[in-house]
Amino acid sequence: MVVSPQAEGESSDRLPHSINPKMEKPRSQRLGKPMIASPDFVHLTPDEYLKHEAERLEKHEYRDGDVYAMAGAVDENVTISLNLAAELRQFLRGSGCRVYISDMKARVESINRFFYPDVMLTCDPQDQETDAYKRFPKLIVEVLSESTEAYDRGDKFADYRQLESLQEYVLVSAKRQRVECFRRGENGLWVLQGYGEVASDRTLYPRKHWVYR
């Protein structure tokens, strides 16, 4: 992957919101839907969160002491996630890497977060030491839905970027034939490469790499 800087003289206001720091939106819009802390929890420590999460059927995200109930899964998202995980597992067989789907948590220890990625890949032996979460994912995939797309592109991606081990963050559309792959370069910049259709006009995704931190 060749890192391509933004074209000279081209306005950043034309970029999608997720990669344009100038186009700030209210938090409720960036999350894609209202996120309300669960009334069953009062500002928990990470250990308290893990204990309570192990005792419940429903899943919750954890953001610096606050716990948020997650929306239920839908068929198409689950199917895409399972297909991706199966392909990755077959491709990486014998490599020592492990693939997990949405029942496994990713821990972003530096900013006190726990998430449930749709698909997660780790190759770090240290992740075999923890059964309930993984701290060193190399790849994270999120399958987009209308209610979570803005969140997956915005705040969640910003949090995932704090993982020093993370090399690729992939967003998969459940409605269109479109995949967006963000790769971390050697200089620490993230580069977007799109595949498939863009929007609903069925034209090919532009072959342009947007670069940002």
CATH code, domain carrying 128: 3.90.1570.10
Residue 3 lies in a domain: no
Q: Which amino acid is at 192?
A: L
Cα distances from 172 to residues 46, 144, 149, 176, 177, in angstroms, run: 30, 6, 10, 9, 8
Give the range of the structural domain holding residue 114, as residue numbers without chain letter: 13-212
Domains held by the chain: number: 1
Q: Residue 73 corresponds to which tokens in the numbers above?
A: 């899964």
Q: Is the pTM of this model over 0.85?
A: no
For the chain, the 3-state helix, strand and coil shares in percent, each to the nearest 5, are 25, 30, 45
Q: Is residue 7 part of a domain?
A: no
DSSP string, 32-44: SS---B-TT--S-
Residue 156 lies in a domain: yes
pLDDT tens, the chain, 213 aa long: 333 333 333 333 333 333 333 333 333 333 334 455 665 567 899 999 999 999 988 999 999 999 999 887 789 999 999 999 999 999 999 999 999 999 999 999 999 999 999 999 999 999 999 999 999 999 999 999 988 899 999 999 999 999 999 999 999 999 889 999 999 998 889 999 999 875 433 333 344 455 555
How many angstroms separate the CA atoms of 70 and 86, rounded? 24
Nearest to 126 by CA among 117, 137, 115: 137
6 within a domain of the structure (yes/no) = no
Does residue 142 lie in a domain region?
A: yes
